[in-house]
């Protein structure tokens, strides 16, 4: 008598075909197929796969959120250092290279945090408007024309 629990667990948790599984456990494919249908193994495999995918996506999203949070925290610390430097008397004493470096650092932080300048927003709006215009043109150009050549007309008679 086959160990159906073991066979079912392997079928549900792996991508093995029922024919290979039948061969592996010395059962005829038709007997295995009837057992699969009786216990609805195919749906159980789909549910297991869906749960595994959901857990994977959740795990990746969690790691990504943690990564973004870490970057944001470090960017905030750098911003605090820049702000302290600008507010100190030293910033006035070295206005050239250091202020240029500080302003470039602020620009980098803004980019990391996703802040957009007014010019960036206008450019993005222009791109969206262009895409909308192209979509309208595509919608208007949906006419289909059928042209029958003279040779085709002769065959149609």
Least confident of 24-33, 42-51, 123-132, 142-151: 142-151
Mean pLDDT, residues 136-157:
63
Higher pLDDT, 57 or 114: 57
Residue listed under structure tokens 């792996």: 14
pLDDT band at 146 (very low <50, low <70, confident <90, very high): low
Whether the predicted pLDDT of 46 surpasses 80:
yes
- pTM for this prediction: 0.43
- CB contact at 8 A, 48 and 13: yes
Give whole-number Cα distances, 140 to 44, 126, 145, in Å: 47, 21, 14
pLDDT at 22: 93
- Percentage of the residues of the chain whose pLDDT score is greater than 70: 82
CA neighbours closer than 13 Å in the CB half-sphere of residue 147: 1
Mean pLDDT, residues 60-80:
82
Q: CB-based burial of residue 36 (10 Å sphere; 0-12 exposed, 13-18 middle, 19+ buried)?
A: buried
């Amino acid at each position: 008598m086959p160990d159906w629990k073991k066979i079912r667990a392997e079928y549900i948790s792996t991508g093995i075909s029922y024919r290979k599984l039948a061969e592996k456990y010395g059962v005829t494919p038709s007997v295995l197929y009837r057992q699969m249908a009786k216990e609805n193994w195919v749906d159980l495999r789909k549910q297991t796969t869906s749960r595994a995918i959901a857990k994977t996506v959740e795990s990746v999203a969690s790691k990504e959120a943690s990564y973004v949070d870490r970057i944001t925290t470090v960017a905030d610390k750098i911003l605090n250092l820049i702000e302290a430097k600008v507010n100190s008397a030293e910033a006035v004493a070295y206005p050239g290279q250091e202020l240029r470096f500080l302003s470039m650092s602020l620009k980098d932080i803004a980019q990391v945090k996703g802040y957009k300048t007014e010019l960036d927003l206008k450019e993005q709006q222009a791109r969206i408007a262009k895409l909308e215009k192209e979509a309208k043109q595509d919608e208007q150009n949906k006419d289909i024309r059928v042209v029958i050549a003279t040779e085709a007309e002769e065959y149609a008679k």
